[in-house]
Structure 1
Amino acid sequence: MQYEGVLTKMQTEAGSPIQYYLVFDDSFLNMNQLLGKDLEINFMGFRCLNCGKKKKIYRMGFCYDCFYSSPSAGDWIMRPELSTAHLGIADRDLAFEEKVQLQPHIVYLAASSDMKVGVTRKTQVPTRWIDQGASFAIPLVEVPNRYLAGITEVALKSHFSDKINWKKMLVNDIANIDLIQRRNETKSLLPEEVLPYFETTPEKLYTLEYPVLEYPKKISSLNLSTTPTYSGKLMGVKGQYLIFQDGTVFNVRSYEGFVVQINV
């Protein structure tokens, strides 16, 4: 079977294990059903996820012009503390920013290669943790806007990492951490204006199970720009990575906007 389309991050469905779907304009692949099978990936070109033009992808699936003009790529996306919609101040498009920023956000602790702190919209629980390849996660505070989540993350980043070691995550080198205990220890580190939200946020530990037949011992990343054709046996999916038998891993999200042909 042959499939062709523009890569976007895999859609997921919580379960044991998590279900993964690679979705194109007129077709989709359930990646769980392809475990143990050979796949061939061919790079065919580019299509910007914002303007739809066949322009080289710069970042986040956007061409250069769209990355610096679209409200979906504002600095506050990666740095929530820069959010200003709660003040009625626009970055690029106030209506869009109000829609995204002025909704409940979760600051969380997650365990994978180590423990990290992060921010996500409440509607993205547990999708955000799945995309990062976290094995366990727990909400720390639920706040009403992105700005409050951002200043909480900044306060905690001096004590905890905000990154996951993706290589350790992909070989399943998981840190043994009591997230409930660590959650309770963070209370004293929270900004004063966020403290009331700690008491109202449920203490719920999430456990995430990924569809992996076999974890690699060593890994190497597939770069479609330098290796436009690759074939291998799919052994697992974790985070937004496809894991192949020869240790090759492919980060689907890093190649959003790339047009590919996949042969199964």
Structure 2
Amino acid sequence: MVYTGVLTKMQTEFLEPIQYYLVFENDFIHVNQLLNKPVKMKLIGHQCLSCGLDRPIYRQGFCKTCFFDKPIAGDWIMRPELSTAHLGKEDRDLEYEKKVQLQPHIVYLANSSNVKVGVTRKSQVPTRWIDQGAHEAIEIVEVPNRYLAGVTEVALKDHVADKTNWRKMLKNDIEDVNLLEWRNNLKAHIPNEVKDYFIESNSETHLKFPVEQYPEKPNSLNIKKQMEYSGKLVGIKGQYLIFEDNTVFNIRANEGLVVELNV
């Protein structure tokens, strides 16, 4: 069957294992059902996730104009400590920024390739952990806005990593750690203005991904350069498709590309 659509990050269900869906404008694919089956992918165009025009994708699924103009791509998205809506100060669109920034946020620890600290809206737990390919995670603090989450993350970066090694994550080169112990050890480094939001009593969340075979040497597919690819799907982890020949494809990194999928 042939599907055509714009790539956006896979939608997920927190089940065991995680369930994945590629959602197009008029159709969707339950990706788990493609495991151990051949998949052919062909690049046929671009569509900016903001303006919808056929323009080269610059970053995060947006054309260059939208990336620098639209509030959904503001610097505070990647650097939450730059959030200013709590001060009533506009970056690009104050109403949008209030809507996103002035809601409960979680600072968390996730273990995908190593223990890392991160920030997400409370409504995005555990989706954010799934997208990162974490096999275990735990909340540290719950704060009322994005700014407080951001300054907490910055403070904790001196004591724990804030990046994932995607190759180790995909190879499943991981080890279980005691995230409760990590969380408690980091408590002393939380900024004073956030200490009252520390979560005293919670437990680790464990996640299981639908992977039949992990790649020994992950080779990232550049569909923009290669234009098309065929392979047998053997796993899904984070936002990556894993193929039998060690090829991996990051859906999130290729948002905005229009593809034809033959499955």
**1:214 aligned residue:** 213
Once residues 135 and 262 of structure 2 are traced to their aligned partners in structure 1, the CA distance between those partners, rounded to angstroms, is 30
The structural deviation recorded for 1:103 is 0.2
Matched-pair contact (CA < 8 Å) for 2:4–2:258: yes
Once residues 34 and 4 of structure 2 are traced to their aligned partners in structure 1, the CA distance between those partners, rounded to angstroms, is 16
**1:103 aligned residue:** 103
Q: Secondary structure at the match of 1:59?
A: coil
Matched-pair contact (CA < 8 Å) for 2:159–2:186: no
Stretches of structure 2 lacking an aligned partner (at least 5 in a row): none
Using the aligned pairs only, state the percent identity: 62
TM-score scaled by length of structure 2: 0.99
Stretches of structure 1 lacking an aligned partner (at least 5 in a row): none
In the alignment, residue 261 of structure 2 is paired with which amino acid?
A: I
Once residues 86 and 116 of structure 2 are traced to their aligned partners in structure 1, the CA distance between those partners, rounded to angstroms, is 26
Q: State the number of aligned residues.
A: 263
**2:151 aligned residue:** 151
Once residues 212 and 33 of structure 2 are traced to their aligned partners in structure 1, the CA distance between those partners, rounded to angstroms, is 12
The structural deviation recorded for 1:202 is 4.1
Matched-pair contact (CA < 8 Å) for 1:103–1:144: yes
**1:255 aligned residue:** 254
Once residues 110 and 14 of structure 2 are traced to their aligned partners in structure 1, the CA distance between those partners, rounded to angstroms, is 16
**1:142 aligned residue:** 142
**2:57 aligned residue:** 57
Once residues 203 and 45 of structure 2 are traced to their aligned partners in structure 1, the CA distance between those partners, rounded to angstroms, is 43
The 5 Å alignment of 1:78-117 reads 78-117=78-117
In the alignment, residue 203 of structure 1 is paired with which amino acid?
A: N
In the alignment, residue 247 of structure 1 is paired with which amino acid?
A: N
Matched-pair contact (CA < 8 Å) for 1:142–1:201: no
The answer as to 2:66 corresponding to 1:66 is yes
The 5 Å alignment of 1:130-209 reads 130-198=130-198, 200=199, 202-209=201-208
Deviations along 1:140-159, whole A, 9 cap, x unmatched? 00000000000000000011
Once residues 252 and 28 of structure 1 are traced to their aligned partners in structure 2, the CA distance between those partners, rounded to angstroms, is 14
TM-score scaled by length of structure 1: 0.98
In the alignment, residue 241 of structure 1 is paired with which amino acid?
A: Y
The structural deviation recorded for 1:230 is 0.1
In the alignment, residue 111 of structure 2 is paired with which amino acid?
A: A
The structural deviation recorded for 1:175 is 2.8
Matched-pair contact (CA < 8 Å) for 1:104–1:122: yes
**1:30 aligned residue:** 30
Deviations along 1:19-58, whole A, 9 cap, x unmatched? 0000000111001000000000000010001000000000
Matched-pair contact (CA < 8 Å) for 1:115–1:175: no
Once residues 211 and 175 of structure 2 are traced to their aligned partners in structure 1, the CA distance between those partners, rounded to angstroms, is 18
Once residues 187 and 158 of structure 2 are traced to their aligned partners in structure 1, the CA distance between those partners, rounded to angstroms, is 14
